[in-house]
């Protein structure tokens, strides 16, 4: 696990969006608990005001509890405590919370506390940070602030606290106009340990020049031991942003915002432009900190059921020595962008996409509008709804005008309504078109706006959005506090009353009143913000054959310019600094000054899973009575026996899971089906799913997981929808639409490679072991990418594709494969089971032959079946990236083997104590580590990595490093246990209670045994498994290295490597 530095321009908008297709993806959350965090840059569709309610997650592990305010109102307006005064107090019943807004008397710092009956407590401090250039100063400062402080003068205490804590979240974000430092945990002592770290980092950071060179940028010799070797640019943020700028979608979105707001801070790249980052000086960074990181410019957020008074006491102890100074708030104010008198048209270039289905259709064009100040929360709530009406779902005007036209592959990146800037924006366009289609697309966009103005929106579509809002305020998911903090901060950062943002019902009622008073209310908004809005930017982006070459040349010119100005003293100092930095990275530090939890803080007994099992019409059904706020959650597994499923259909499983609910079913065409889904449920979700066997790598299980949830009043309509999907998918209604869905999937997968390359590399490397690992690669790896690209570019094959999808449906959608789970309030269990029984009776299949309950098997640990290594060849997939993603996999031992727990601790130890230092600190990669999965595969990986040979060498040395037990202490092992238990004891939502067993067959007894094995791991055990599995020459089964990245001298003309051009 490593710190993923998210530039919030890309990511924060993914929090709180109203998306027609944002179905509950409970299976992914459950199956991936404890794996690497997804680092994908998020380009969401329509963002809503409200999603603080929609995906903010709450945790309640007590199955008998209900979600409610943590207590009655404890403080009243005017109360003073620990140098704070309470300015406002409000109950928000729709979100089951009480909000307290306070102000620090001495510094003017604002504080929002959300009291809620949630054990997953959260803290954040946020500063308004408004850069005046694109050197990435705010981003680099965010890194440096966490590299040691006055109270904790050690190198990178943030990373070290990842292994000294039971946190449920730790990170830091740099946005376009703010920087936020959040964490969450369920443990009170842990909370105040982390609070101390975060507060000292924010207000008393060391800001060492060596850390600036490591995290920001530096000139360094390519060979640290040779002062005559060429100088090159290095630095974590420098390499990170080179990776970001390798993505066409990132280039488009960043340029869109920079160019739509050319006269204020948004004209600058807050994350840092790689060609501007080397212009930042160390003194400029320190000056930026002194101007922005002051309590008078800070906003504090706390959430959960811990004591507000204790929070305030701890914070006051740190900021009480500062004095209020309004200049800090004034310096960081974001000025309004003045409206343009007429539209602007600008062009961009990017690199070619080797995964594009059509090489001659890689142009993107879109139009973006500056809307209204986000300080008007009611207006922006309306704009969020309007944005959803315009683009979400097959009945929306832009879906019909752009997606159904078949002109392109998908909406342009960032399409929809967004509130990441002081003045909100709306963007719409199309990607995957040819250059000569630009005018056609622009005419289609303008006509769609005109049609929306003349025709308005059907009332049932508005009702569907309001239904989703109602459903979202009741839905509970993990880390509610984090989602709430990020949503509120968007407004609060510009001095909007944060409590105003929480009043969901008030905004809904205001919207309804406006619509009732004026039936043309939304039509008038279309005219005001789109037809009559002259502040609009048309942005066209096309690939250039020499894009990468020009970037390299520009970087070389910049480097040559820097080097040409160096004196001999400068060169000597650069060589000396390189040595000093390496010494600093290798130095042993006294970490005893850092607070830590102890392994004894972890209970040796796990919380029991609460559920019951019954049989309904011969179908195995699991149910759990939970405090779900009146929502019924349904999950189904359609289990497929590998031996009974035709191999030729395997490539279609992922596609089938993506389109099965989007083609129309029964009495409904695709538009009608979508409308019914949105009116009755959160969406009908499906996911191809592979589960590793606890002892036999070749006895994995595969199938589809389906999921949905609804309000109690909609139980019957929800299952009626599933009945029609199971029985009568309308494959032949519209082949052109199916082809367009394939193109959308292919475009999304291709766009994701630059953000998730390490996952593709890991899947590919692990596929060398066959079994479940090979199937994962076929259905969610480079092979799958190639297959989607082939289908997207083969319209003449659509009838064959339909034929194969029908065969998949015939095999999969059958009660012989089905098992079900229901999580609901106790009073809703019986009604839900009754409707479920009707559903089972109405779909085809021979229930007497049901084999879907075979997950619960007799797990024989006496025989561990190991795979045969199918290939050790290194593979290089050549992509037009600026950095690399690398991985090597090692097959070790499956879940039930006694060594599994030892290896899990060992992988954490390798990541935090060895690979992080070698790959990130020394190598300059954005991240690197080791991931150990439930199938027994340990994968080394690196992320946005400028190195190749150095990283492979680190992979090779990892096992040897573990064998030398003097490299780490018993304390290090205990810290690795703490890190592992962050995922083992992660909060479980009421909607997820019992689902780990339902999906994987891992029961409480097995989990308890695993728990004890983890807690009992000793240093000798680490040495034993390292020697047995991880050192070459032992019984270790190691794959070759897989790399995704640019052309490399390391792999070219090297018979140990198979080089594949991604476009071939």
What are the extents of the domains in the chain? 6-218+269-331, 344-475+497-543, 620-849, 871-1061
Q: How far apart are CA 39 and CA 41, in angstroms?
A: 6
Residue 29: pLDDT over 50: no
Q: Which residues lie below 8 Å from residue 94, measured CB to CB, with a gap of 6+?
A: 53, 473, 504, 505
Question: Tokens 């869905």, residue?
Answer: 741
Residue 1020, helix vs strand vs coil: helix
Phi, psi of 773 (to 5 degrees): -65, -40
Residue 1043, helix vs strand vs coil: strand
Q: How many residues does the chain have?
A: 1064
Q: How far apart are CA 389 and CA 396, in angstroms?
A: 6
Q: What are 718-744's pLDDT values in tens digits?
A: 999 999 999 999 999 999 999 999 999
Q: How far apart are CA 756 and CA 39, in angstroms?
A: 7
- What is the pTM for the complete model shown? 0.90
* Cα torsion 427, 430, 434, 436: sign: negative
Tell which CATH classification among 3.40.50.720, 3.40.50.10490, 3.30.360.10, 3.30.830.10 matches the domain 871-1061: 3.30.830.10
CA dihedral of residues 761, 763, 765, 767 (deg, nearest 10): -150
Q: Which tokens go with 28?
A: 């992914």
> What DSSP designation does 769 have?
G
Q: Which tokens go with 22?
A: 């944002």
Predicted pLDDT of residue 100:
98
Residue 57: pLDDT over 70: no
Tell which CATH classification among 2.40.50.100, 3.30.830.10, 3.10.250.10, 3.30.70.141 matches the domain 6-218+269-331: 3.30.830.10
**CA distance to 4, 48, 146, 594, 655, per residue, from 400 (Å):** 37, 22, 48, 57, 22
Q: Which residues lie below 8 Å from residue 139, measured CB to CB, with a gap of 6+?
A: 5, 7, 174, 237, 241, 270, 271, 272
Q: How confident is the model at residue 844 (pLDDT cuts 50, 70, 90)?
A: confident
Q: How far apart are CA 496 and CA 758, in angstroms?
A: 40
Predicted pLDDT of residue 391:
98
Q: How far apart are CA 55 and CA 469, in angstroms?
A: 11
Mean pLDDT on 975-986: 95
Q: Which residues lie below 8 Å from residue 398, measured CB to CB, with a gap of 6+?
A: 390, 391, 411, 415, 428, 445, 448
Q: Check if the beta carbon of residue 338 is closer than 8 Å to that of residue 140.
A: no
**CA distance to 27, 97, 578, per residue, from 41 (Å):** 21, 31, 32
Mean pLDDT on 10-18: 29
Q: How confident is the model at residue 943 (pLDDT cuts 50, 70, 90)?
A: very high
Phi, psi of 350 (to 5 degrees): -145, 180
Residue 133: pLDDT over 60: yes
Q: Which of 42-56, 79-93, 280-294 has the lowest mean pLDDT?
A: 42-56
Q: Which tokens go with 1004?
A: 């409480």
Q: How far apart are CA 416 and CA 388, in angstroms?
A: 7
DSSP 260-308: HSTTSGGGS-TT--TTTGGG--HHHHHHHHHHH-SGGGEEEEEEESS-H
Active-site option among 142, 220, 548, 875: 142
Q: Check if the beta carbon of residue 418 is closer than 8 Å to that of residue 426.
A: yes
Predicted pLDDT of residue 69:
46
Q: What are 317-345's pLDDT values in tens digits?
A: 999 999 999 999 999 999 999 999 999 99
**CA distance to 278, 372, 638, 687, 992, per residue, from 854 (Å):** 59, 56, 12, 20, 21
Residue 363, helix vs strand vs coil: strand
- Residue 924 C-alpha from the chain's centroid: 22
Q: Which of 23-27, 147-151, 468-472, 836-840 has the lowest mean pLDDT?
A: 23-27
What is the share, in percent, of the chain residues with pLDDT greater than 70? Answer: 90
Phi, psi of 102 (to 5 degrees): -130, 165
Predicted pLDDT of residue 9:
28
Mean pLDDT on 56-67: 34
Mean pLDDT on 542-570: 95
Q: Check if the beta carbon of residue 452 is closer than 8 Å to that of residue 526.
A: yes
Q: How far apart are CA 419 and CA 501, in angstroms?
A: 13
If residue 11 lies in a helix (H) or strand (E), which one and from where to where? helix 8-11
Is the fold of 6-218+269-331 the same as that of 620-849?
A: yes
Q: Which tokens go with 852?
A: 């879907």
Any idea which architecture 344-475+497-543 has in CATH? 2-Layer Sandwich (3.30)
Question: Tokens 């596609």, residue?
Answer: 655
Indicate if 215 belongs to the active site: yes
Any idea which architecture 620-849 has in CATH? 2-Layer Sandwich (3.30)
Q: How confident is the model at residue 698 (pLDDT cuts 50, 70, 90)?
A: confident
Predicted pLDDT of residue 74:
87
Q: What are 184-229's pLDDT values in tens digits?
A: 999 999 999 999 999 999 999 999 999 999 999 999 999 999 999 9
Mean pLDDT on 799-823: 96
> What DSSP designation does 178 have?
E
Mean residue pLDDT of the chain comes to 90
* Cα torsion 981, 979, 972, 762: sign: positive
Q: How far apart are CA 471 and CA 460, in angstroms?
A: 16
Taking alpha carbons only, the member of 744, 705, 722, 632 closest to residue 668 is 722
Q: How far apart are CA 413 and CA 13, in angstroms?
A: 13
Predicted pLDDT of residue 890:
94
Indicate if 132 belongs to the active site: no
How large is the greatest C-alpha to C-alpha distance in the chain, in angstroms? 84
Q: Which residues lie below 8 Å from residue 160, measured CB to CB, with a gap of 6+?
A: 154, 591, 594, 912
Active-site option among 209, 215, 555, 996: 215
Q: Check if the beta carbon of residue 871 is closer than 8 Å to that of residue 1040.
A: yes
Q: Which of 797-806, 891-900, 1029-1038 has the lowest mean pLDDT?
A: 1029-1038
Q: Which residues lie below 8 Å from residue 371, measured CB to CB, with a gap of 6+?
A: 380, 383, 417, 423, 424, 425, 426, 529, 533
């Amino acid at each position: 696990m490593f710190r993923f530095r998210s530039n919030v321009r890309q990511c924060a908008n993914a929090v709180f969006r109203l998306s027609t297709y944002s179905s509950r993806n409970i299976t992914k959350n459950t199956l991936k608990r404890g794996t690497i965090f997804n680092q994908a840059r998020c380009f969401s569709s329509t963002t809503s005001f409200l999603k603080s309610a929609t995906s903010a997650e709450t945790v309640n592990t007590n199955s008998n509890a209900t979600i409610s305010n943590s207590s009655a109102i404890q403080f009243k307006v005017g109360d003073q405590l620990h140098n704070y005064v309470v300015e406002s107090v409000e109950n928000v019943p729709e979100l089951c919370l009480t909000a307290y807004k306070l102000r620090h008397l001495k510094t003017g710092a604002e504080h929002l506390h959300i009291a809620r009956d949630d054990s997953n407590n959260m803290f954040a401090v946020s500063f308004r940070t408004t850069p005046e250039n694109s050197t990435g100063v705010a981003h680099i400062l965010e890194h440096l602030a966490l590299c040691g402080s006055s109270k904790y003068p050690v190198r990178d205490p943030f990373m070290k606290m990842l292994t000294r804590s039971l946190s449920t979240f730790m990170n830091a974000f740099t946005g376009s106009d703010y920087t936020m430092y959040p964490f969450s945990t369920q443990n009170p002592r842990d909370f105040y340990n982390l609070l101390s770290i975060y507060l000292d980092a924010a207000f008393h950071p060391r800001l060492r020049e060596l850390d600036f060179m490591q995290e920001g940028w530096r000139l360094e010799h390519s060979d640290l031991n040779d002062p005559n070797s060429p100088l090159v640019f290095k630095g974590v943020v420098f390499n990170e942003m080179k990776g970001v700028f390798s993505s066409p979608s990132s280039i488009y979105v960043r340029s869109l915002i920079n160019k739509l707001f050319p006269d204020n801070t948004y004209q600058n790249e807050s994350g840092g432009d790689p060609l501007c980052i080397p212009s930042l000086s160390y003194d400029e960074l320190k000056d930026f900190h002194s101007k922005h990181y002051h309590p008078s410019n800070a906003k504090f957020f706390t959430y959960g059921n811990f004591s507000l008074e204790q929070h305030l006491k701890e914070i006051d102890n740190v900021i009480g020595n500062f004095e209020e100074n309004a200049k800090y708030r004034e310096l960081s104010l974001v000025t309004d962008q003045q409206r343009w008198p007429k539209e602007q048209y600008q062009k961009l270039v990017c690199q070619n996409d080797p995964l594009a289905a059509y090489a001659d259709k890689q142009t993107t064009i879109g139009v973006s509008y500056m809307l209204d100040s986000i300080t008007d929360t009611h207006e922006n709530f309306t704009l969020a709804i309007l944005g959803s009406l315009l683009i979400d779902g097959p009945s929306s005007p832009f879906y019909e005008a752009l997606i159904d036209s078949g002109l392109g592959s998908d909406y342009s990146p960032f399409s929809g309504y967004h509130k990441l800037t002081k003045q909100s924006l709306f963007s719409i366009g199309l990607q995957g078109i040819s250059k000569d289609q630009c005018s056609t697309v622009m005419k289609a966009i303008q006509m769609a706006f005109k049609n929306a103005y003349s025709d308005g929106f059907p009332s049932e579509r508005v009702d569907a959005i309001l239904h989703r809002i109602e459903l979202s305020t009741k839905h509970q998911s993990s880390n509610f506090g984090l989602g709430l903090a990020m949503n509120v901060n968007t407004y609060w950062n510009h001095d909007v009353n944060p409590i105003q943002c929480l009043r969901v019902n008030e905004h809904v009622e205001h919207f309804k009143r406006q619509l009732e008073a004026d039936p043309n209310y939304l039509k008038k908004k279309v005219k005001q913000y789109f037809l009559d809005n002259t502040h609009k930017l048309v942005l066209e982006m096309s690939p250039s054959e020499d894009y990468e070459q020009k970037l390299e040349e520009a970087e070389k010119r910049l480097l040559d310019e820097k080097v040409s100005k160096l004196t001999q003293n400068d060169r000597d100092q650069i060589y000396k600094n390189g040595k000093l930095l390496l010494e600093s990275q290798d130095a042993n530090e006294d970490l005893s000054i850092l607070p830590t939890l102890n392994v004894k803080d972890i209970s040796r007994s796990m919380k029991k899973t609460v559920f019951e099992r019954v049989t309904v019409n011969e179908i195995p059904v699991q149910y759990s009575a939970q405090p779900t706020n009146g929502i019924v959650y349904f999950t189904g597994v359609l289990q497929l026996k590998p031996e009974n499923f035709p191999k030729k259909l395997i490539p279609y499983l992922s596609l089938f899971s993506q389109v099965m609910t989007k083609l129309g079913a029964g009495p409904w065409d695709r538009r009608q089906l979508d409308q019914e889904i949105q009116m009755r449920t959160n969406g009908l979700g499906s996911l191809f799913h592979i589960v590793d066997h606890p002892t036999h790598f070749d006895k994995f299980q595969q199938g589809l997981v389906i999921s949905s949830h609804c309000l109690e009043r909609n139980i019957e309509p929800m299952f009626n929808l599933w009945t029609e999907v199971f029985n009568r998918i309308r494959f032949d209604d519209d082949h052109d639409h199916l082809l367009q869905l394939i193109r959308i999937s292919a475009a999304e997968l291709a766009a994701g490679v630059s953000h998730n390359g390490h996952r593709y590399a890991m899947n590919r490397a692990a596929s060398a072991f066959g079994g479940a690992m090979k199937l994962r690669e076929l259905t969610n790896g480079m092979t799958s990418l190639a297959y989607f690209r082939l289908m997207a570019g083969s319209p003449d094959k659509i009838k064959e594709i339909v034929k194969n999808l029908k065969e998949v449906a015939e095999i999969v959608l059958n009660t012989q494969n089905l098992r079900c789970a229901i999580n609901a309030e106790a009073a809703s269990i019986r009604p839900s089971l009754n409707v479920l029984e009707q559903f089972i009776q109405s779909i085809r299949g021979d229930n007497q032959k049901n084999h879907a309950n075979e997950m619960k098997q007799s797990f024989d640990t006496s025989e561990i079946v190991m795979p045969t290594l199918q290939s050790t060849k290194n593979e290089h997939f050549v992509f037009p990236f600026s950095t690399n993603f690398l991985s090597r996999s090692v097959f070790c031992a499956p879940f039930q083997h006694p060594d599994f727990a030892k290896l899990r601790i060992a992988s954490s130890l390798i990541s935090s104590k060895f690979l992080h230092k070698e790959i990130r600190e020394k190598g300059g990669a954005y991240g690197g580590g080791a991931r150990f999965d439930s199938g027994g595969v340990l994968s080394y990986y690196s992320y946005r990595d400028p190195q190749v040979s150095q990283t492979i060498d680190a992979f090779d040395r990892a096992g040897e490093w573990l064998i030398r037990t003097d490299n780490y202490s018993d304390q290090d092992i205990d810290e690795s246990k703490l890190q592992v238990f962050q995922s083992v004891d992660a909060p479980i939502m009421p909607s997820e209670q019992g689902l780990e067993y339902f999906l994987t067959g891992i029961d409480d007894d097995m989990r308890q045994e695993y728990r004890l094995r983890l807690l009992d791991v000793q240093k000798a055990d680490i040495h034993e498994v390292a020697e047995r599995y991880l050192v070459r020459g032992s019984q270790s089964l190691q794959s070759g290295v897989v790399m995704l990245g640019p052309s490399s001298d390391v792999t070219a003309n090297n018979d140990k490597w198979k080089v594949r051009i991604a476009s071939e």
